[in-house]
Amino acid sequence: MSTTTGTVSSRRKPMDWGKLASYGFLVLLALVYLGPLLMLVNTSLRTTPSFNRDAIGLAVQPNFENFAEAWEKANFPKYLLNSVVYTVSATTIYVITAVFVAFPIARGYVRYAGVLLTLFVIALFLPPALIPQFQLILRLGLYNNPIGYILLFIVNPIGIVILVNYIKTVPQELDEAAALDGCGYFRFVWSIVLPLIRPAVATVVVLHSIGIWNEIILPTIYLTNDDFYPITRGLIVFQGVYGSDWPVLAAAVLMLTLPMVILFLFLQRYIVSGLTAGSVKG
């Protein structure tokens, strides 16, 4: 009996080459994505003379003074506050309005709801209408105005598409029960629907916030007063006549990305479910 047990236990399972190849591919893919980030971190820790001598060399002696210099040179406190105000206000307005727009479309409470959803999907593939948009902002007297700049970000079709597909997974019986209890439309959406679609809302918040936070073209066009610059526009100070101070610029970019990384880590558990829910049913 012991011999049989020893023989069975001594057998080795055949190696799963498919699984091994899958893990190898994932590791390679992770290196491809992490490579530029690691290069950015390495550059931010180098001095300008050493970077000019060898751009791809390793930071043997880390130089953390780049972060302090970038903080002062790019006027980080002022421009960072502007970016926070733009991102928080535009995202809040957009998410609240998008939920109230997406709900009747998802439920079919408006005519041609399917056509409206199709139009939002088509809008994903259309280029931004910069010239008509510029003329509109100019004629409204909102050029070089923080309010006008915020209004540029209160429309985003991808958020509507995500919210519509997610709301379709919420049982419609809740609408009927709320109507029988005398619950109004706005109270129902705000008190019942909104808490149930938190994963989709978190996904939209992250996607919309990152888009506003990283925007560089629109502030260059619509904001000419440096008192209104977001932090991305402030990074242009690193561009000199004869070149750029790349280590200090790399340090500034790292500090620029930190708030969005924190937001993503805080909401990451909602993002996957928010993107995938409703993909089959919707």
Q: Is 282's pLDDT higher than 50?
A: no
Please report, rounded to a whole number, the percentage of residues in the chain having pLDDT higher than 90: 24
Q: Is 161's pLDDT higher than 80?
A: yes
55's CB contacts (< 8 A; 6+ apart) are 246
Q: What type of residue is 193? A: V
Q: How far apart are the C-alpha atoms of 18 and 130, rounded to whole Å?
A: 49
47's CB contacts (< 8 A; 6+ apart) are 63, 247
Three-state DSSP class for 217?
helix
Longest CA pairwise span in the chain (Å)? 92
- Delimit the CATH 1.10.3720.10 region(s) of the chain: 70-276
Q: What type of residue is 65? A: E
CA nearest neighbour of 251 among 37, 43, 14:
43
Q: How far apart are the C-alpha atoms of 219 and 148, rounded to whole Å?
A: 11
Q: Is 48's pLDDT higher than 50?
A: yes
188's CB contacts (< 8 A; 6+ apart) are 175, 178
91's CB contacts (< 8 A; 6+ apart) are 153, 205, 208, 209, 212
> Residue 243 has what pLDDT?
58
Three-state DSSP class for 121?
helix
CA 267, 90, 248: angle at the middle one, nearest 5?
70
Q: How far apart are the C-alpha atoms of 158 and 128, rounded to whole Å?
A: 14
Structure tokens that stand for 118 in this block: 């199709």
> Residue 280 has what pLDDT?
46
> Residue 233 has what pLDDT?
86
Handedness of CA 60, 66, 68, 69 (dihedral sign): positive
pLDDT band at residue 15 under the 50/70/90 scheme: low
For the domain spanning 70-276, the CATH number is 1.10.3720.10
63's CB contacts (< 8 A; 6+ apart) are 45, 46, 47, 247
Q: What is the C-alpha R_g of the chain?
A: 25
Q: How far apart are the C-alpha atoms of 108 and 114, rounded to whole Å?
A: 8
The model's pTM is 0.81
Which range, 93-97, 173-177, 247-251, 252-256, is most confident?
Answer: 93-97
Backbone φ, ψ for residue 215 (5° rounding): -65, 135
> Residue 189 has what pLDDT?
86
